[in-house]
Structure 1
Amino acid sequence: MNAPFSPADTLRAALAGLLDGLPPKRAAQAVDRLIANYRGATPTDAPILRDRADVAAYAAYRMPATFEAVRAALEAFAQAVPEWVPASHVDVGGGTGAAIWAATATWPGERDVTVLDWAEPALAIGRDIATANPALKNTRWQRARIGSALALDPADLVTVSYVLNELTAPDRTILVDAVAAAAQSVVIVEPGTPDGYTRVIEARDRLVTAGFRIAAPCPHSAACPIVPGTDWCHFSARVSRSSLHRQIKGGSLAYEDEKFSYVAATRLPVTPAPARVVRKPQIRKGQVLLDLCETEPSLRRTTVTKRHGDLYKAARDADWGDAWPPESD
């Protein structure tokens, strides 16, 4: 019997082949330069990813982390709309396609898929990698400038991952409004930093104003209860580290944790989680401390002890980002 198809494992295998023939030093230099560029000021009109070597190095380094972060966001969204499966998906600024791989991990099977990005080398490599995933064989890879002039066709699902940080504030507003006009459901993912969270909250507010309901991570569509400047909402996804990760960052751990902020919103009827675990649970002797965002909306710490029986067992298994309490079988 053949093993079930795993988008995550298949993606890792496809990425491993990208660096064949590229000297490790060249790959490390490309990643260092690209990271510095991404962390700098708003980019110019020139694509950040200049050629195939740039894209190969950066995809091998960053695509697994983007995949895991977007998959976590999509899975939380899918739990809030369990009967829904998108028939069409547009990935805005998708580059090499991490988000469309994440969508196939969440909702297996083929659908109408389009990836939009300005960097032709990224689209070319994304197209090559996608041949390893049967669900992506008919994906359209289209060159498009991501900004105020972007035109979007209607789609069931639109993803925008690690893109808003590359735009000016006015262009971010225009893009989110364009996405809201085209999409039935929207998932936006940004780095799990205070600035990333601020961009997500700005987008969230515009989506709510446009009539969307928040599906995740928030258990409500009201204003975020976090006081601006005091904290930020973010989550963590575990990522297997490639040999390129180890070459660049050093160390021997086989994994790293990708911090990300996100919002998933929809025009569909939605059942958000009753509460969301918004910090890593603290497991102590005989008790578990959970920091929750609740429906009211409010932030609250709850203590689950052995006297809570099965709920205590569930709390010990709970992870950062999980819905709480867990659904009964």
Structure 2
Amino acid sequence: MSTVHLPGDLRAALTEQLHATAPGHASAQVQRLIESYRGTTPTAAPVLRDAADVTAYAAYRMPATYAAVRSALAAFRARAGDWTPGTHLDLGGGTGAATWAVGDAWPEGAHRSTVLDWSQAALTLGRALARRAAGPAVRDAEWTRAPLGAAPALPAADLVTVSYVLGELTPGGRTSLVEAAAGAARGAVLIAEPGTPDGYARIIEARERLIAAGLTVLAPCPHDRQCPVTGGDWCHFAARVQRTSLHRQVKGGSLPYEDEKFSYVAAARPEAVTEAAPEVLLEAAAAPATSRVVRHPQIRKGLVLLDLCTRDDGLTRTTVAKRHGPAYRAARDADWGDAW
């Protein structure tokens, strides 16, 4: 499991915002939001009722959402070669976790981000947090109120992110948003959802629509064929994010970290990522991995057991022994979610 460190400027901005709101009051709001977040019905608009709710939401969810999106972006970047977005559209971005993650993934700051959300309170807080960002891509982001449940007319962008949004929409709204995101994306789309069976089901549905729209899956899947995960299983990954003392206080937790489980799909237009790196063969730099580790590796004496999703054979388990030399050393270093 990868450990994701919250950027110092984001950590400072959240801490300052929480100090401005009595942490005890935020804790009470967080408890209500936890109950709503764990529910199974679309609730986003009524849950975030006011500025206090949004501040509590940022304390409760923003670090974990950032960690999930940042981990997914790292997997995508590893398969996309030298491709770099010039523009970024964050759909349902709220307080901006995905926008901060994209800013960290491409720290050169050459891209321009636009956040669309239906909650004005979330956008207001997101803009306030972004003003404290060190990088211009986050600091200069545009924050625009827009409904997302019906098929919206979206501005075109090189990269479109949709993080932890689909579960807040009706089935028809999800279909409209994913199709609109695919239509707006000149280069790539990344969609992330909670790492639950329901979240995975939404990702699989979105994956099918992205493929139908002409995009190629680059991560986490090693192919565009039907997902081999069936039955009661579901594909998900995890990211560990460090908590601040104030974050622990607001959430009522004692551990110095939390583990966020998430499902995701990242897909790109082949012509876009190929044109970005013409000197590199598509097979080498802009294609999905041959296989991906889909469970925690099991390390035994002289052996490593890897559960893989593979391009040719679906779900398999491979055993890497010490006698395999470099492959064994690589397997010992492999982590859940890594390409193999």
Q: TM-score, normalised by structure 1?
A: 0.92
Match of 1:124 in 2: 124
> Residue 168 of structure 1 aligns with which residue?
170
**Which residue pairs with 1:293 in the alignment?**
309
Q: Which residue of 1 aligns with 2:300?
A: 284
Once residues 307 and 44 of structure 1 are traced to their aligned partners in structure 2, the CA distance between those partners, rounded to angstroms, is: 54
Do the aligned partners of 2:26 and 2:250 also contact (CA within 8 Å) in 1?
no
Q: Deviations over 1:31-87 (max 9, x none)?
A: 111222233353468442122221112112211111110011111111111210000
SS at match of 2:7: helix
Tell me whether 1:209 sits opposite 2:208 in the alignment: no
Distance 1:137 1:246, change over 3 A: closer
Distance between the aligned counterparts of 2:226 and 2:254, measured in 1? 42
1:77-92 pair list within 5 angstroms: 77-92=76-91
Residue 19 (structure 2) aligns with: 20
Assess, with a 3 A threshold, how the Cα gap between structure 1 residues 27 and 150 changes in structure 2: closer, same or farther: same
Say if 2:229 is the partner of 1:226: yes
Q: Is the 8 A contact 1:222 1:297 kept in 2?
A: no
Closer/same/farther in 2, CA of residues 297 and 223 from structure 1, 3 Å limit: farther
1:299 Cα shift?
A: 0.5
1:31 partner amino acid? V
Aligned to 2:260: 258
> Following the alignment from structure 2 to structure 1, what is the Cα–Cα distance between the partners of residues 209 and 150?
16
RMSD across aligned C-alpha pairs, in angstroms? 1.7
Match of 2:59 in 1: 60
- Quote how far apart the aligned CAs of 1:9 are: 2.1
| 1:190 equivalent in structure 2 | 193
CA–CA distance in structure 1, aligned partners of residues 252 and 260 of structure 2: 17
Query: Gaps (5+ residues) in structure 1?
Result: 1-5, 325-329
Pairs within 5 Å for 1:139-154:
139-154=141-156
**Highest RCO, 1 vs 2 (Cα 8 Å, sep ≥ 6):** 2
Q: Distance in 1 between matches of 2:44 and 2:243?
A: 32
In the other structure, the counterpart of 1:73 is 72
> How many residues end up aligned between the 2 structures?
318
TM-score normalised per structure 2: 0.89
**1:180-224 CA distances to partner (integer Å, 9 max, x unpaired)?**
111131000000000000000000011111111000000111111
Checking the alignment, whether the CA contact within 8 Å between 2:42 and 2:170 is kept in structure 1 is no
Partners of 2:132 and 2:20 in 1: CA distance: 20
Identity among equivalent positions (%) equals: 61
Partner of 2:238: 236
Matched residue, 1:309? 325
**CA distance, structure 2, for counterparts of residue 100 and residue 130 of structure 1:** 9
Amino acid at match of 1:132: R
Aligned amino acid, residue 178 of structure 1 = A
Alignment-derived partner of residue 274 in structure 1: 290
Write the distance in 1 (CA, Å) between the matches of 2:330 and 2:132: 37
SS at match of 1:190: strand
Gap change, CA 1:280 and 1:225, over 3 Å in 2: same
- Corresponding residue number in structure 2 for 1:200: 203
User: Is the 2:192–2:263 Cα contact (8 Å) retained in structure 1?
Assistant: yes
Kindly state the Cα deviation for residue 244 of structure 1 after the two structures are TM-superposed.
4.5
Deviates more, 1:138-147 or 1:41-50: 41-50
Q: Distance in 2 between matches of 1:7 and 1:253?
A: 16
C-alpha separation in 1, matches of 2:202 and 2:310: 22
**Which secondary structure state, in structure 1, belongs to the residue aligned with residue 329 of structure 2?**
helix
**Range with bigger deviation, 235-244 or 312-321:** 235-244
Structure 2 CA distance for aligned equivalents of residues 248 and 22 of structure 1: 11
Structure 2: segments with no counterpart, 5+ residues: 275-285
SS in structure 2 of the partner of residue 20 of structure 1: helix
Question: Following the alignment from structure 1 to structure 2, what is the Cα–Cα distance between the partners of residues 250 and 303?
Answer: 41
